């Protein structure tokens, strides 16, 4: 918890009466020095006792140790991307709609452990198990490659498009961790321009958190709603969702009015 | 940082002069209420200002979020124990000195990613690669099984014996994460009865932290040294290590004497 808003010579917490003018002192004249930022403060701005400060420091150190251990565990458990180790691969994934694509090698046991859909596919007597090939439609080589890489490493270099594409794959193959990872990215990058498209996307792929984050941004900008370039499209493609926006907005207005 | 040594009704930090007897007040009469434990303290026991307390709370929440994310990542990256998924295994490990043992199935690409020794074995044209079998001597089925399990999950249910056995395998196959894991366990369970054997063990398997932790316990109990049941054995098997204990002890004594 050691922060330094302004560097001061460290010293033990001290308190002094500000009564240099000889007048009678009171509580507001007293100043103490914060053990964390080392700045002076008066009693109205007091925070914790010394013991709690020390305990909080120890607790923080303990949390940081736990983080280091977990990071080391993640690093140990992360597997290299299969391209690096293709000689042991026992399955290939093919993005059938990308004519330039080369097949992507992988390991059955890993796919099985990461996705219940791959598990059903590869542990039962299905075409994919017999042929050793999983054909995936409607995606590019780059997206599939990022998807497989994520299954090995739990990492991806996202932009908005890749986050959406991987979230779709996360939903399709029930890779919950990936779906949450992409959803968090989209929420972090949310703004008014993306709010309506994110709202429709979240509805389609069953992302509760993204949906409520988008709705919150939309409700904060109701005066701009009809001018948003995605609005007309949403009215065409999914008018029920537009109705839901208006219903929520009116419901909130009535609630707020009822509170006064 | 919210702890409660004793539950008190929460209220805003207050300060009051303890001058109920009418005498003149001074700083030591002033009491404040800690925002964390909610107990009263006087100025000599003051810790931090309010702003630092709030910042520390936010920082702690941030660390806890990071821990949750890392735990979820660890859970995603952890692979099931290969016995559960033996149909895709492409290598077996055999504890050759355990006559009752059954072979343990595993996946080459995983062994290769966890251990540079397995990597060399399985990526070059060595007997293990050709036969699909890795023979391991001098260990029991249970130890080998725990070892393979660790390579998939980064977890083991340790006792003292298993920690030593797995540390030996961690050293032999250069699985640094496992070695550190076992070393931490042995340090946490250290006591006087184990100190000498741990010291000799740490020397043999090149464990710096375990070695210095054992030595610290030995130096704190020099009056009991020759009575420890492992002492005579260490004098027989590795007298140089015993010499090192005495040298360190005398060196510390001279340093302490020199300081006065």
The DSSP code for B226 is: G
Cross-chain CB nearest to A37 (options B35, B52, B73) = B52
B169 and B89 inside one domain = yes
CA B207/CA B242 separation, integer angstroms: 17
B151 and B103 inside one domain = yes
A233 contacts chain B (CB < 8 A): no
Which helix (DSSP H) or strand (DSSP E) does residue A216 occupy? Answer: helix A208-219
B110 and B163 inside one domain = yes
Is A56–B54 a contact, with Cβ atoms under 8 angstroms apart?
no
- Distance (Å) from the C-alpha of residue A197 to the closest C-alpha of chain B? 27
A84 contacts chain B (CB < 8 A): no
Boundary residue ending a domain (A189, A207, A236): A189
Is B30–A35 a contact, with Cβ atoms under 8 angstroms apart?
no
CA B190/CA B213 separation, integer angstroms: 8
> Could you state, in chain order, the average pLDDT of each consecutive group of 10 residues for chain B (260 residues)?
39 42 54 92 91 94 96 92 74 89 90 93 82 91 95 96 97 96 97 95 96 96 91 93 94 80
A57 and A38 inside one domain = yes
The answer for A81, left when phi > 0, alpha when psi is -120 to 50, beta otherwise, is: beta
What is the domain extent for residue B209? 190-260
CB B79 within 8 A of CB B89: no
Residue (of B216, B218, B213) closest to B196 by Cα position: B218
CA A234/CA B100 separation, integer angstroms: 68
- Outline where A124-175 has alpha helix (H): 127-131, 141-153, 160-172
A216 and A148 inside one domain = no
A185 and A209 inside one domain = no
> Which residue is listed with tokens 């490659």?
A145
B149 and B198 inside one domain = no
Pairing of strands B40-42, B15-16: unpaired
> Which residue is listed with tokens 């109701």?
A222
* Digitized pLDDT (tens) for each residue of chain A, 260 residues in all: 444 433 333 333 344 444 444 444 455 567 889 999 999 998 889 999 999 999 999 999 999 999 999 999 999 999 887 665 667 899 999 999 888 888 999 999 899 999 999 999 998 878 777 788 999 999 999 999 999 999 999 999 999 999 999 999 999 999 999 999 999 999 999 999 999 999 999 999 999 999 999 999 999 999 999 998 899 999 999 999 999 999 999 998 888 877 66
Residue (of A152, A167, A179) closest to A93 by Cα position: A152
Whether residue B246 is contained in a domain is answered as yes
B170 and B88 inside one domain = yes
Q: What is the ipTM of this complex?
A: 0.80
CB A51 within 8 A of CB B47: yes
Q: How many CB pairs under 8 A join A and B?
A: 204
Whether residue A16 is contained in a domain is answered as no
B170 and B218 inside one domain = no
The DSSP code for A17 is: -
Boundary residue ending a domain (B56, B77, B98): B77
B97 and B161 inside one domain = yes
Residue (of A119, A206, A77, A210) closest to B71 by Cα position: A77
Mutation target vs B (from A37, A42, A56, A114; most B CBs, 10 A cutoff): A56
Residues found in chain B: 260
Cβ burial, residue B1 (10 Å; 0-12/13-18/19+):
buried
pLDDT at B83: 65
> Which residue is listed with tokens 């303990």?
A62
Q: What SS3 class is residue B42?
A: strand
Whether residue B259 is contained in a domain is answered as yes
pLDDT at A6: 36
Which helix (DSSP H) or strand (DSSP E) does residue B46 occupy? Answer: strand B46-49
A226 contacts chain B (CB < 8 A): no
What sign for the dihedral angle of Cα A141, A143, A144, A149? positive
pLDDT at B16: 45
Whether residue B31 is contained in a domain is answered as no
- Contacts of residue A26 in chain B, CB cutoff 8 Å? 17
Whether residue B151 is contained in a domain is answered as yes
pLDDT at A26: 56
- Contacts of residue B1 in chain A, CB cutoff 8 Å? 48, 52, 55-56, 59
CA A111/CA A116 separation, integer angstroms: 9
Whether residue B163 is contained in a domain is answered as yes
Total of domains in chain B: 3
Whether residue B42 is contained in a domain is answered as no
Whether residue A100 is contained in a domain is answered as yes
Cross-chain CB nearest to B3 (options A52, A108, A112) = A52
Boundary residue ending a domain (A126, A161, A189): A189
Is B59–A55 a contact, with Cβ atoms under 8 angstroms apart?
no
What token pair was written down for A88? 């042991």
pLDDT at A125: 76
What token pair was written down for A184? 């968090």
- Distance (Å) from the C-alpha of residue B164 to the closest C-alpha of chain A? 20
Pairing of strands A40-42, A46-49: unpaired
Name, in order, each residue with C-beta under 8 angstroms of B204's C-beta and a sequence gap of 6 or more. Answer: none
B158 and B213 inside one domain = no
Cβ burial, residue A114 (10 Å; 0-12/13-18/19+):
buried
What CATH number is given to the structural domain containing A247? 1.25.40
CB burial of A40-64 (b: ≥16 within 10 Å; e: otherwise) equals ebbbebbbbbbbbbebbbebbeebe
pLDDT at A3: 43
CA A69/CA A139 separation, integer angstroms: 37
What CATH number is given to the structural domain containing A90? 3.30.710.10
Cross-chain CB nearest to A47 (options B47, B66, B72) = B47
B110 and B143 inside one domain = yes
């Amino acid at each position: 918890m050691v922060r330094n808003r302004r560097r001061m010579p460290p010293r033990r917490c001290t308190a002094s009466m500000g009564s240099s003018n000889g007048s009678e002192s009171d509580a507001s004249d007293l100043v103490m020095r914060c053990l964390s930022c080392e700045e002076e403060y008066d009693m109205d701005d007091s925070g914790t006792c010394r013991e709690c400060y020390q305990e909080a420091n120890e607790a923080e150190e303990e949390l940081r140790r736990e983080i280091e251990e977990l990071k080391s565990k993640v690093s140990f458990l992360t597997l290299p991307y299969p391209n690096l180790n293709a000689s042991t691969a026992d399955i290939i994934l093919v993005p059938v709609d990308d004519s330039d694509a080369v097949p992507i090698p992988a390991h059955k046991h890993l796919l099985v452990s990461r996705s219940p859909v791959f598990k059903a596919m590869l542990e039962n007597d299905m075409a994919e198990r017999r042929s050793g090939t999983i054909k995936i439609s409607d995606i590019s080589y780059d997206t599939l490659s990022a998807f497989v890489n994520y299954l090995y490493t739990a990492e991806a270099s996202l932009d908005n498009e890749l986050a959406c594409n991987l979230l779709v794959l996360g939903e399709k193959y029930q890779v919950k961790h990936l779906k949450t990872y992409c959803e968090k990215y989209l929420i972090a990058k949310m703004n008014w321009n993306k709010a309506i498209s994110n709202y429709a996307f979240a509805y389609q792929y069953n992302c509760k958190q993204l949906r409520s984050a988008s709705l919150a941004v939309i409700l904060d900008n109701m005066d701009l709603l009809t001018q948003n370039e995605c609005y007309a499209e949403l009215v065409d493609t999914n008018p029920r969702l537009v109705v839901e926006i208006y219903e929520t907005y009116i419901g909130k207005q009535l609630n707020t009015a009822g509170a006064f």
